[in-house]
Chain A
Amino acid sequence: MANIAILNRQTHRTLRVQPAFAAPRNFVAVVVGEFAHLVAHYPILISKDSETGAFYCGVMLGIDQSENLFAGVSGLYRPLNVQRGPFFTSGSDIAIDLDHPAVGGGEPLFSEAGEPTAYLTSIMSLFRDLVPGIEQTKAFLGELMRLNLIAPVDINLGFDDGSERTLEGLYTVNRDALLRISDADALMLFRRGYLELCYMMLASLKQVSVLAERKNAALVERGRAAFG
């Protein structure tokens, strides 16, 4: 259970958070402003919110439940929703989930003088991208829905240990449908920057096999350990 508190320089004076903490999750929501950073490393897909059924954009971090194949990988862009760790916004305030596993150890949030550290300042600036980004992403997806450009994608993966995975509940841009839209719609998508986002999502699908290869190596390694 989450234990959420509004961040406060008195109460949380000595609190520390691990900035590089990798949550055990295989999918995380992203916003359109990040696509250019994400496309080189992560498969960018569309999924549905389990509470509302609404579409949202996200990247695959792993294949099995709670599997984060990017844990311990350094030097890559980390999605804003990963970077924010235990932090949330609550109105104009920053809140923190005190039970989040990243809380305790790591970077301090406040200096001895009670001023926000560079780390906390970076979190505050992150939300300045993330909060409007959520609305921009909704607008992008709304336009894709209006033009019937979202289609389910079946991802079937086979691994060298003989196991197979079928990923369900994922969607992407329908490339064929995109080629059939009217000139006026194409121009509108282009001008709003949505066409670029569509092609970044499609290009990022190549990262699924990169991720699968990483998973495969881990499985084979595990198999060797078991038999060795």
Chain B
Amino acid sequence: MHQVRNIVIVGGGTAGWLTAAVIAARHQGRIKKGSFSVTLVESPNVPIIGVGEGTWPTIRSTLEKIGVSETDFFRECDAAFKQGGRFARWTTGADNDAYYHPLELPKGFADVNMVPHWLAHEGGVSFCDAVCPQGALCDEGLAPKAITTAEFRGAANYAYHLDAGKFAPFVQRHATAKLGVRHVPADVVAVHQGENGDVVSLDTKQAGTITGDLFVDCTGFASLLLGKTLGVGFKPCNDVLFCDTALAVQVPYPTPDAPMASHTNATAQTAGWIWDIGLPTRRGIGYVYSSRHTDADEAYETLARYVGPPIRTLTVRKIPIRSGHREIFWKNNVVAVGLAAGFLEPLESSAIVLGELSAKLIAEQMPATREVMDIVAARFNEVTTYRWGRIIDFLKLHYCLTKRTDSQFWIDNVDPASIPERLQNLLKLWKTRAPWFLDEFDRLEEVFPAASYQYVLYGMGFKTDVDPDDIAATSGLADRLMRDNAMATQRLKAQMPKNRELVTKIHTHGLQAI
């Protein structure tokens, strides 16, 4: 029997360090006894691509599990609260066209599907405002908790906006100091495989040969082990998601205490959309566009109109986006996490959450021996392929529900040939009933649960038939939940501090662990 005891992670960006920390935290007992090890090999020369400044609420339990303090995280990663996304001009393109995809589930989500009840009412209140308080909190720039709320707990569900360039070093410090992860700064110059194709060892320029039982490929777009060494192909999805380029810029606030949005702003443009993310020190803004539908000069002007005159003095970075993922994610004794596994445009911030979920799955399902590894790998591939597919569907949903016809970009986006069959079928189904439990999204860890589809569909004016007789039995409960929600919204609006104010207080006083 070949025991799996030494894990080697290649690449030290956000994906590499998060994976190292998650695996090491889960296997602390064995690491302390010396019967298990986690080593991270990272080139001292390759620059880290800071992917995504947006996260999902899963990051809270991930950070808590690896044992960092939320206060330290806020202070060292320039983090701020994120309570969801506000999507402007995606449906009609008009000035007043906007909806929220909040992180809170609709009230009573486990007991009743609120959608048909809301559709039957249609009293001028948006779906989001009818079923959860979070849109109202975002409208007023309020935080999801107070200074008296314990670390990682919230009055409303939340994730973070963070400085990705500071996040990886933050996790690195913790993983090496507290979790026993061995850090090897060295360039990999050769990969050695055994007869069965398994990676046996890596030759490095600075640190000699490194052997391992399981190798995690976190080498970014290079995909050194899974792509280059094991020859696993890349499956593009630019026939579904057209955006292939981003122009990114960091915009300072007019004053250090300027209001800071507690949600991601995503504003649709003629050939893509602009993200706008508030960190304590600056706003991260970027235009994600389809180079088939606009050119770089026009894209720059679009971004300049959004940012305003300050852009003339700022550095604008052009980032290629190669949307797609590997055909499989775990082959032989190599598993890929992060960009080495695939990448999608940043709509709905899927990058970090996918890395977290993969790391967690590897940590929890860690094969005890090489002999059972292929069984674990097959399951990992099945789950991860499912996740990528669902995320692609969910991102496409934002585009294909548009009613905009003002540019070829939007016209092309509703072309059925560009919509995955599964999503087409779901959209057909959802004209007759709204998504909920026992629907398509019944996996234990869905990246985007049915609630997310509800917020986007009904935020974008999707029509679902409602039979009044069908919902009569639960209408009393639904009415009560909407009333409860209205009260909860008023209460939270009165109690919650401003996002900026709370983040400043966390820097000054810190949050308590309990």
Chain A residues in the interface with B (C-beta under 8 A): 48-55, 145, 148, 150-152, 169, 171
* Chain A residues closer than 8 Å to B149, beta-carbon distance: 53
Chain B residues in the interface with A (C-beta under 8 A): 146-149, 505, 508-514
| Minimum C-beta distance from B511 to chain A (A) | 6
Residue of B whose beta carbon sits closest to that of A47: B148
- In the complex the two chains form, is B514's CB within 8 Å of A53's CB? no
Q: Which of A50, A51, A145, A169 contacts B513 (CB 8 A)?
A: A145
- In the complex the two chains form, is A52's CB within 8 Å of B514's CB? no
| Minimum C-beta distance from A151 to chain B (A) | 7
Of listed B146, B510, B514, residue having the most chain A CB within 10 A: B514
Q: How far is the CA of A18 from the CA of B46 in the complex (A)?
A: 73
Q: Which of B148, B511, B514 contacts A150 (CB 8 A)?
A: B514
Known: A52-B509, A54-B512. 14 other contacts (CB 8 A): A48-B147, A48-B148, A49-B148, A50-B146, A50-B147, A51-B505, A53-B147, A53-B148, A53-B509, A53-B512, A54-B509, A151-B514, A152-B514, A171-B514
* Chain B residues closer than 8 Å to A50, beta-carbon distance: 146-148
Q: Which of A48, A53, A55 contacts B505 (CB 8 A)?
A: A53
| Minimum C-beta distance from A208 to chain B (A) | 20
The A-B contact count (CB < 8 A) is: 33
* Chain B residues closer than 8 Å to A148, beta-carbon distance: 513
Can you report 23 residue pairs joining A to B where beta carbons are below 8 Å apart? Answer: A48-B147, A48-B148, A49-B148, A50-B147, A50-B148, A51-B505, A52-B505, A52-B509, A53-B146, A53-B147, A53-B148, A53-B149, A53-B505, A53-B510, A53-B511, A54-B509, A54-B512, A55-B512, A145-B512, A145-B513, A150-B514, A151-B514, A171-B514
Residue of B whose beta carbon sits closest to that of A55: B512
Residue of A whose beta carbon sits closest to that of B147: A53
Q: How far is the CA of A176 from the CA of B402 in the complex (A)?
A: 58
* Chain A residues closer than 8 Å to B147, beta-carbon distance: 48, 50-53
* Chain A residues closer than 8 Å to B511, beta-carbon distance: 53
* Chain B residues closer than 8 Å to A54, beta-carbon distance: 509, 512
Q: How far is the CA of A148 from the CA of B509 in the complex (A)?
A: 19
Residue of A whose beta carbon sits closest to that of B510: A53
| Minimum C-beta distance from B207 to chain A (A) | 38
Q: How far is the CA of A52 from the CA of B512 in the complex (A)?
A: 10
Q: How far is the CA of A145 from the CA of B505 in the complex (A)?
A: 20
* Chain B residues closer than 8 Å to A55, beta-carbon distance: 512
Of listed B149, B510, B512, residue having the most chain A CB within 10 A: B512
